[in-house]
Chain A
Amino acid sequence: MTIQQPADSQDLPRVFLVDDHTMFRAGVRAEIGALLPVVGEASTVAEAVVGIERTRPDVVLLDVHMPDGGGPAVLTAIRERGLSARVLALSVSDAAADVIGLIRAGARGYVTKTISAPELAAAVRRVAGGDAVFSPRLAGFVLDAFTQSDPRLLGQDRGERELNVLTTREREVMRLLARGYAYKEIASELFISIKTVESHASAVLRKLQLSSRYELSAWAMDRHII
């Protein structure tokens, strides 16, 4: 494993690649290597766990579909070992069920593999800063899954209900994300700061991870989009 690091790598998030396709890893490394330090890569879950423990990256780029347990296994291992690495899921737009599974297992965001290098680097930086990354499709999924007013929600206590409903602002942010707006553009569209947009996105991600809405998994199973 070669480690290439740009000169001013002090503040830049250190990236670890996990993907079972060698060609894809090489491609990502070539594309974002100039923008961000890539500290290691792995093609299996076991390799990834060892590598992440050794190199202590800031962000793990994790493929959704991998043999031997796949992405969720890596996320579980990271959590169990108390590692600080944050995870950004990378997928060739596969079944929604998988992506939602990964988000609920703790990934901070999801992007498709067709994303451009500068956009990927920006997404990695955002995840490293503790924020959430939504692809337009993931935002669309959130809107769809949280739109239905479910009579079952009425019986829940306040804390639980808050997790299962989006606020108006969160909905607006998700809608703009689904329309292909960048965070900066959303901020100027809604006359709020980028920080506020980021905090709305993080709140939605939290809801996506913790919500007990029964639709989430059922919906994802039904429609294999994303």
Chain B
Amino acid sequence: MRDYDQVIMPTVASPDALLDQPRLLLAPRGRLLGGVSAGIATHIAVPTWAVRVAFAVLVPLQGVGVLLYAVFWVILPAAPCSDQRRRRGRGIGHVLVFGVMVAVTISILSLWHSSTQILVLGCLGGVVIGGALTFQQADASMREQSISVASPLPWSGVGLARTPTTLLRWACGGGLVLAGLAGLLIVAGELTALRSGLIFTAAMLIGVVVVLGPWLARVLGSLRQERYERIRSQERAEVAAVVHDKMMHTLALIQRRAGDAREVSRLARGQERELRTWLYKPASAPDQQLSAAMEAAAAEVEDSYAVTVDVVVVGDAVLDPALAALVAATREALLNAAKHAGVANISLYVEAEPAIEHPVVSVFVRDRGSGFALDAIPPDRHGVHDSIMARMRRHSGQAELRTAPEEGTEVRLRMPLSTSGQPYGGGHDDPATR
């Protein structure tokens, strides 16, 4: 049996403590704009404000600060972020703030430079912002979406991920880049001389689009097709692995032992459980979550004694030593029921009661089997005293046994929850606490 007393409680730690040298990423949290400063600060382990000051100091120097920031923003990968809410609906606002920053920089620069240079800088800024927009770096979720759909070409995301925001973003970004480039050209050369050139370029572009359009569409189509194929074949391989390794094996065993009804039902039950877990449940570790630990204990008893344990878990809690002892006591109770009750069905009910002053985890193990007279516990059932009652008492829990001959048995266990193992509701997030 696993030694649950060795379980180390997961603690909340800053990202720095988790990794020796955090990767250089856009910080998902504690960001003002794109998370560049916070990301760099995390990476080189200095306070975020220091990096921000550095950027601010660099701004008046020919706008280097703004340019640097923009470059970082565009090329740094976004940190994976689990918090959906934070990821949404902030990109546009940030771009606006960034635009204001650029404008401020330009007006500062105009004190030193001629208007032409300012114009050039402005156009450059436009190109940079436009590029940032089209690469969708500002919004991590959008970016992930487009890249996951559209690899290997970043821009093919436009053709595939056709959400209105993506299109708008792309149109704005593209417009800014074109305007910026045109502005640069116009400033660089003479407007009149350039006009015919611009018209020529536009005509060329249209021609290219007309010629290459269908081909591009075909390429995108086949890319998408290929991607779906790949996903499908991966899925198929995974299913085949499960079906082949597990189910076929079990079916072969069942055929071989067709005469042994007990063994057949044990095999079938075990396989059913495995398949169900694979199909429906996200795997959670039995050494971390109360519910997973209870289910693992029930599965173990099911496998060893060819009984069915109906497990119902309400709420959940992080496993600590006391709860691990509770799981061990529950396992003993299940084993007793499987060994002595003489029935094929045991009910296990676990409830981690949230939202009360003294949270408690209650466990009920019940069978409708032979039962026994409490004062005449047979010698081989010392397990009740040692492994259930005593174990519960050691961790300041309670155990109660209700039984009578021919009336089944119910073991009731109660374990107070320590503050570290606060229960939480069944799998759904409470928005009020997030």
Residues of A at the B interface (CB closer than 8 Å) are 93-95, 114, 136-137, 139-140, 143-145, 147-151, 175, 178-181, 215, 218-219, 222-225
CB pair B315–A147 under 8 Å, yes or no, is yes
CB pair A144–B366 under 8 Å, yes or no, is no
Chain A: minimal CB distance from B245 (Å): 22
CB pair A178–B432 under 8 Å, yes or no, is no
Residues of B close to A114: CB separation below 8 A: 308
Smallest CB-CB A-B distances: 8 pairs? A180-B347, A224-B280, A140-B312, A144-B426, A179-B349, A222-B427, A148-B425, A223-B427
Please name the residue on chain A nearest to B280 by beta carbon. A224
Q: B310's contact among A94, A136, A219, A222, by CB below 8 Å, is which?
A: A136
Chain B: minimal CB distance from A141 (Å): 8
| Interface membership of B139, Cβ < 8 A | no
| Interface membership of B394, Cβ < 8 A | no
Please name the residue on chain A nearest to B412 by beta carbon. A179
Q: A219's contact among B276, B281, B364, B427, by CB below 8 Å, is which?
A: B427
Residues of A close to B312: CB separation below 8 A: 136-137, 139-140, 178-179
Residues of B close to A178: CB separation below 8 A: 312, 314, 349, 351
Q: B351's contact among A145, A175, A223, by CB below 8 Å, is which?
A: A175
Please name the residue on chain A nearest to B423 by beta carbon. A147
Q: B428's contact among A139, A143, A179, A219, by CB below 8 Å, is which?
A: A219
Known contacts A140-B313, A147-B355, then 15 further A-B pairs from the complex at CB < 8 Å, ordered by chain A residue: A94-B280, A114-B308, A136-B312, A140-B349, A143-B314, A147-B314, A147-B315, A147-B425, A148-B428, A148-B430, A179-B347, A179-B364, A180-B310, A180-B347, A223-B426
Taken together as a complex, chains A and B put the C-alpha atoms of A222 and B315 apart, in Å, by 13
| Interface membership of B354, Cβ < 8 A | yes
CB pair A148–B355 under 8 Å, yes or no, is yes
Residues of B close to A175: CB separation below 8 A: 349, 351
CB pair B349–A222 under 8 Å, yes or no, is no
Residues of B close to A93: CB separation below 8 A: 276
Taken together as a complex, chains A and B put the C-alpha atoms of A219 and B280 apart, in Å, by 14
15 A-B residue pairings within 8 Å (CB atoms): A95-B280, A137-B310, A140-B349, A144-B314, A148-B426, A149-B355, A175-B351, A178-B314, A179-B347, A179-B410, A180-B310, A180-B347, A219-B428, A223-B426, A225-B281
Please name the residue on chain A nearest to B353 by beta carbon. A147
Chain B: minimal CB distance from A2 (Å): 29
Taken together as a complex, chains A and B put the C-alpha atoms of A181 and B349 apart, in Å, by 11
Residues of B close to A219: CB separation below 8 A: 426-428
Residues of B at the A interface (CB closer than 8 Å) are 276, 279-281, 308, 310, 312-315, 345, 347, 349, 351, 353-355, 364, 366, 410, 425-428, 430, 432
Chain B: minimal CB distance from A144 (Å): 4
CB pair A144–B315 under 8 Å, yes or no, is yes
Residues of A close to B347: CB separation below 8 A: 136, 179-180
Residues of B close to A181: CB separation below 8 A: 366
Residues of A close to B353: CB separation below 8 A: 147
Residues of A close to B308: CB separation below 8 A: 114
Please name the residue on chain B nearest to A216 by beta carbon. B428
Chain B: minimal CB distance from A51 (Å): 30
CB pair B432–A222 under 8 Å, yes or no, is no
Residues of A close to B279: CB separation below 8 A: 224
Taken together as a complex, chains A and B put the C-alpha atoms of A75 and B347 apart, in Å, by 31
CB pair A222–B428 under 8 Å, yes or no, is yes
Taken together as a complex, chains A and B put the C-alpha atoms of A148 and B425 apart, in Å, by 6
Residues of A close to B314: CB separation below 8 A: 140, 143-144, 147, 178
Please name the residue on chain A nearest to B362 by beta carbon. A175
CB pair A151–B366 under 8 Å, yes or no, is no
Taken together as a complex, chains A and B put the C-alpha atoms of A7 and B219 apart, in Å, by 71
Residues of A close to B281: CB separation below 8 A: 223-225
CB pair B349–A144 under 8 Å, yes or no, is no
Taken together as a complex, chains A and B put the C-alpha atoms of A94 and B275 apart, in Å, by 11
Chain A: minimal CB distance from B302 (Å): 13
Chain A: minimal CB distance from B354 (Å): 6
Chain A: minimal CB distance from B41 (Å): 35
Please name the residue on chain B nearest to A93 by beta carbon. B276
Taken together as a complex, chains A and B put the C-alpha atoms of A150 and B314 apart, in Å, by 17
Residues of B close to A145: CB separation below 8 A: 426
CB pair B426–A179 under 8 Å, yes or no, is no
Residues of A close to B430: CB separation below 8 A: 148, 150
Residues of A close to B410: CB separation below 8 A: 179
Q: A225's contact among B280, B345, B428, B432, by CB below 8 Å, is which?
A: B280
Taken together as a complex, chains A and B put the C-alpha atoms of A140 and B362 apart, in Å, by 13
Chain A: minimal CB distance from B333 (Å): 13
Residues of B close to A140: CB separation below 8 A: 312-314, 349
Please name the residue on chain B nearest to A219 by beta carbon. B428
Please name the residue on chain A nearest to B354 by beta carbon. A147
Chain A: minimal CB distance from B411 (Å): 11
If A140-B313, A143-B314, A225-B281 touch, does A180 touch B349 (CB 8 Å cutoff)? Answer: yes
